Structure 1
Amino acid sequence: MTVVLGAIADDFTGATDVAVAFRRGGLRTVLFFGVPPEGEVTPPHDAIVIALKSRAIPAAEAVSTSLRALRWLRNRKAEQIYFKYCSTFDSTPRGNIGPVLDALSQALSPARVLTTPSSPEHGRTQYQGHLFVGDALLAESPMHDHPTTPMTDSHLPRLLREQTTTPVALVTHDILRRGETAVREAIDSKSGYVLVDALTEEDLRLLGRIAADSPLVAGAAGLAAGLAAAHASMTPPLTDTSPPSGPAAVLSGSCSARTLEQVAVMKRLGRPAHRLDPVATPDPEALAAGALAWYDSLTEPGPLVYSSSSPADLRRTQQELGVSRAAAILEKATGLIAVGLVERGVRRLVAAGGETSGAVVTALDVRGGVIGTEAAPGVPWIHPVEDRRPALLLKSGNFGDPDLLATASGS
């Protein structure tokens, strides 16, 4: 079976975002967590997304695992590779966007790589080379305080040049206003990595048509949707999948402003809520055992187990335990809690945050799944390929309306 599009995503929630962009564009899409074994049997598909946890690891490791994913996709005859990074360009001067782009480019030898993090549906737009989050420049948004990739600059060419020796060019929005021919000519005149402004979904569909024949494209879910639209006319129609049912629970570890709002809504609605405190209980097994004992005492449905906290509280936790130790405790505890919840009959599991989602998927040993209906834009239900696994909703920290966690885990 030919793979029209093969995507390599740098985190789990970002992978679900790009997978649903492909599906919404009309492509049957399968998502794998990690690089599958060579003999992996896949359901019928047009696109495959491989979710990695490579965003914040050392650059050399990110390159190595991304190249393994590339080899797997090329062995499946993937016609086009999409490197999916975050729509807020999460990275540092050490990477990992630049180093991974360099490695993929060396392997695929494209004449140039069209890229943009623009995703208007999620409030991310690129204009004059600057990235905006809603009405705010990236460096003036909550991403300025991100615990692992604080974004203190908004100018994308400058950010990318810090991470690579490959030339970085810019095509600004005034060129897009002149039409497709002018944009093609502008892009074709560049080499290396070509960042292109995009403000609307129509801009991204135009860029998708232009990039449809390129061996390598990079960006967020917005450009992925544009590519899917360009390819969808050549693929079979989708068959829909029903939303999942059964007992639900929410695990939240993201400290983004939107997730904190979603946690507050669940509490305000009277949902049972249990806070994980790694300072008070630094043993992850004891932390998980306490949460599961609390769950066993409940009579109300749709509970929330969370470690999400304000930036000030997060800093205090990290100062007390150290950044790495605090993250490791919560990741281990979250995985143990996920396993315990499934053993207790949970059939729908909502995870808020990239690290939380990764911990859940790893602990449950979910290899992959078919992309189903969306609970919110860019947040699909995933139906695992393995039996006896719960349906998963993996939510990127900043995604969804304030009531998303409550509605997704409702009856």
Structure 2
Amino acid sequence: MTTIGAIADDLTGATDLAIVLTAAGFRTAVVPGEAVSGGLPPAADGTDAVVVALKSRTAPPAEAVAGSLAALSALRAHGCDRILFKYCSTFDSTPGGNIGPVADALLDALGAPWTVVAPAFPANGRTVYRGHLFVGDDPLDESPMRDHPLTPMRDSSLPRLLAPQVRGGAGAVGLLPLPAVTAGPAALRAALDGQAAAGARHVVVDAVCDADLVTLVEATADLPLLTGGSAVAQGLEGPHAAAEAAIPAAGDGPRVVLSGSASQATRAQVRTGAAAGRGIRLDPAALRRDPAGTHRAVAEEALACSPADGPVVVYATGDDGDLSGPEAAPLFEEALGAVARLLVERGVRRLVVAGGETSGAVVAALGVRGLVVGPRLDPGVAWARAERGPGEEPLGLVLKSGNFGGADLFVRAWDAAPDGAR
């Protein structure tokens, strides 16, 4: 019976969480939000955990809340008795949401008085100290996230970021610093109860290492709702040994990467991948002038390559000077989804996709109904087997958050699951 239900605000975050849950011993399925109308699809059957992948990070708050509540309803109907609300470990949001409004709505729907706020992901350099979020050695507002084109993060204080997003403002946001965590689960729970008694509905909890998150999960074992980054799930214990799913053979087609992310980490991956193979930059002017023709031309250029040519990186943003602004983002998402569909129609069975919005567009274009985790590449990054409709062959996909993965990810991803090995 499925016991863990999760709601993620984008697809790469959902797969990131599924990787952690799988490693913790949960048979986990990821299902797109549009597939839960009327209940969860067959991909969720026989699992221990289900992650519903929404596209709500930058949606209007009312839309994000509605989608999250619909996902919650489907998960509870499926038997899930503990809910995780997963958002990015860099707390990507705007002054109005969507983290706060969704968390408030989920608390109300579950009849829960309070929850914790724990975006830390120490393995990827995201830590929280004295309520401030760090990316590596830099406070969030001094990291590359400061100038993100869609969700620029200009403050590192999680309580200050959250206060204008939640009902009750600053009075509804609490903070427990690191000494409260290192004192152990019982002491942490007492401190959490004290914060709740003082009126806090959302308690920010420091975490600088994985052990801190394990302590947090132990201290909150009875809470119906946890919120945070995917790393918080590593404190959970599933009923099985971790197991990776097999992914489809790559065959003789090109090794194509579809990148719509503007993050600094992905730009480095684009440069490295293109240098090792071939780079195809999307031209916004051509996409506006003749979208269908440009999609076909890009797909044909990629299909002309072979595995021996190295990765073929189709990208929207490479060097810093390539930024096209947020108004071009929907154009790139549509293009990368269309190119993915054209490639799969011509026999490509594995794709690497970078960026949460891009991943959502590609999954929608390919009609993916569910994903199960395969070979792991980096913290928060893995191959997955993508199940589609009846009679359609499954695909191998990497759906990567823009901020995750080493600079050489696009080069070595293809060797992590060679044909015949998985």
2:300 maps to what in 1? 293
The one-letter code of the counterpart of 2:81 is: E
C-alpha distance in 1, partners of 2:408/2:394? Answer: 25
Q: Pick from 200, 219, 222: which aligns with 2:228? A: 219
Q: Pick from 240, 264, 270: which aligns with 1:236? A: 240
Q: 2:147 matched to 1:142?
A: no
Segments of 5+ residues of structure 2 without an aligned counterpart are none
1:198 aligned counterpart, secondary structure: coil
Q: Pick from 241, 253, 273: which aligns with 2:279? A: 273
1:56 aligned counterpart, secondary structure: coil
| CA distances 1:237-285 after superposition (whole Å, capped 9, x unpaired) | 344434543143111111111111111111222x122111112442322
Change (3 A) 1:309 1:334: same
C-alpha distance in 2, partners of 1:242/1:125? Answer: 33
Give the TM-score taking structure 2 as reference length: 0.90
Q: 2:315 matched to 1:306?
A: yes
- Contact persistence 1:255–1:310 (CA under 8 A): no
1:403 maps to what in 2? 408
Q: Which runs of 4+ in 1 moved over 6 A?
A: none
Give the TM-score taking structure 1 as reference length: 0.93
Q: 2:217 matched to 1:173?
A: no
CA positional deviation for 1:347 = 1.0
C-alpha distance in 2, partners of 1:182/1:238? Answer: 31
Change (3 A) 1:39 1:185: closer
Change (3 A) 1:388 1:256: same
- Contact persistence 1:364–1:389 (CA under 8 A): no
C-alpha distance in 2, partners of 1:51/1:301? Answer: 31
C-alpha distance in 1, partners of 2:11/2:147? Answer: 21
C-alpha distance in 2, partners of 1:180/1:328? Answer: 45
CA positional deviation for 1:331 = 1.3
C-alpha distance in 1, partners of 2:227/2:84? Answer: 5
The one-letter code of the counterpart of 1:20 is: I
Residue range with higher mean Cα deviation, 68-77 or 383-392? 383-392
C-alpha distance in 2, partners of 1:303/1:58? Answer: 35
The one-letter code of the counterpart of 1:87 is: S
CA positional deviation for 1:14 = 0.6
| CA distances 1:334-356 after superposition (whole Å, capped 9, x unpaired) | 11100111112111110011121
2:151 aligned counterpart, secondary structure: coil
2:165 aligned counterpart, secondary structure: coil
Q: 2:262 matched to 1:259?
A: no
C-alpha distance in 1, partners of 2:162/2:80? Answer: 27
C-alpha distance in 1, partners of 2:350/2:282? Answer: 20
The one-letter code of the counterpart of 2:70 is: R
| CA distances 1:165-200 after superposition (whole Å, capped 9, x unpaired) | 241100000212322221111011122111100011
1:185 maps to what in 2? 190
Q: Report how many aligned residue pairs link the two structures.
A: 397
Change (3 A) 1:344 1:224: same
1:409 aligned counterpart, secondary structure: helix
The one-letter code of the counterpart of 1:179 is: G
- Contact persistence 2:280–2:313 (CA under 8 A): yes
The one-letter code of the counterpart of 1:274 is: I
C-alpha distance in 1, partners of 2:40/2:155? Answer: 44
- Contact persistence 1:36–1:367 (CA under 8 A): no
Q: How does 1:26-37 map onto structure 2 within 5 Å?
A: 26-34=25-33, 35-37=35-37
CA positional deviation for 1:288 = 0.7
2:354 maps to what in 1? 352
